[in-house]
């Protein structure tokens, strides 16, 4: 039973345009959501996060939107750059429930075309 | 800059060998985690720890074991490696269990 889902395994975007990566979750107890970027043979790098009490968080080119009623979050990257090409994982945590577990989605491979 | 380190980065060993993957963090985090990732797949939680002498199995069954004798150290051991253990193993830590999760560079294990 996958609690965090990324239904698009890959996405191609032209340089300078917006990249939108989506993530759905099933557990309404998740209280914190994170996005990570990963290159092969390296550890994931933290990008941006959002608490469940907010619906938007912005950091430079990266914005995360949270829609709790739809159990959906998205990561917007604008403008997209070739260096953004990587696999992006969304993750959700159950910190306040006491389990302190982070559950990851399957990832979306983003390719930014020059 | 995250201060969490994993060794070895790459390891190729034969079937039946015992291996230990090391993970250390210098941030004083209580929560530590081990994830396993196969190429193109999600990160599966295999072990986690809330603090010293606390370890729990994750959502993915694993034949590996872990220990947490010191706050900063969370090694993972395979008593008898098999080809099915070939994967990337990622160690991570968090201060609160609900904030940012910091990852190490990963250990790529290949069992022949």
| Inter-chain residue contact A43 with B100, CB threshold 8 Å | no
Question: Residue A40 has what pLDDT?
Answer: 82
Contact B43, B37 (CB under 8 A): yes
B83 by DSSP, 3-state: which?
Answer: helix
CA distance B17 to chain A (A): 23
Spatial distance between the Cα atoms of A84 and B1, rounded to a whole number of angstroms:
19
CA-based nearest residue to B87, from B96, B78, B79: B78
What's the whole-number mean pLDDT along residues B44-71? 92
B86 by DSSP, 3-state: which?
Answer: coil
Checking if the pLDDT of B1 tops 60, the result is: no
What's the whole-number mean pLDDT along residues B26-38? 92
Per CB-CB distance under 8 Å, the chain A contacts of B99 are 32, 49, 95
Contact B49, B31 (CB under 8 A): yes
Interface test with B, best of A33, A54, A94, A102 (most B CBs within 10 A): A102
Question: Residue B39 has what pLDDT?
Answer: 80
| Inter-chain residue contact B106 with A42, CB threshold 8 Å | yes
What's the whole-number mean pLDDT along residues A44-58? 94
Per CB-CB distance under 8 Å, the chain A contacts of B98 are 31-32, 93-96, 100
CA dihedral A13, B90, A35, A19 (to 10 degrees): 0
């Amino acid at each position: 039973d996958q609690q965090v889902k990324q239904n698009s395994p890959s996405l191609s975007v032209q340089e300078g345009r917006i990249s939108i990566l989506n993530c759905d979750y099933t557990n309404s107890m998740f209280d914190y959501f994170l996005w990570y970027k990963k290159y092969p043979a390296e550890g994931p790098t933290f990008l941006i996060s959002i608490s469940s009490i907010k619906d938007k968080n912005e950091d430079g080119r990266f914005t995360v939107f949270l829609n709790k009623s739809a159990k959906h979050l998205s990561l917007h990257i604008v403008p997209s750059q070739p260096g953004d090409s990587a696999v992006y994982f969304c993750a959700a945590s159950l910190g306040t429930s006491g389990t302190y577990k982070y559950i990851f989605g399957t990832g979306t491979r983003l390719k930014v075309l020059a | 800059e995250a201060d969490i380190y994993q060794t070895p980065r790459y390891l190729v060993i034969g079937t039946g060998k015992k291996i230990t993957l090391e993970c250390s963090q210098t941030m004083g985090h209580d929560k530590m985690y081990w994830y396993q990732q196969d190429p193109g797949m999600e990160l599966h939680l295999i072990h986690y720890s809330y603090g010293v002498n606390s370890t729990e199995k994750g959502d993915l069954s694993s034949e590996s074991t872990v220990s947490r004798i010191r706050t900063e150290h969370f090694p993972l051991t395979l008593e008898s490696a098999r080809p099915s253990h070939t994967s990337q193993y990622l160690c991570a830590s968090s201060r609160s269990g609900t904030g940012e999760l910091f990852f190490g560079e990963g250990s790529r294990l290949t069992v022949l």
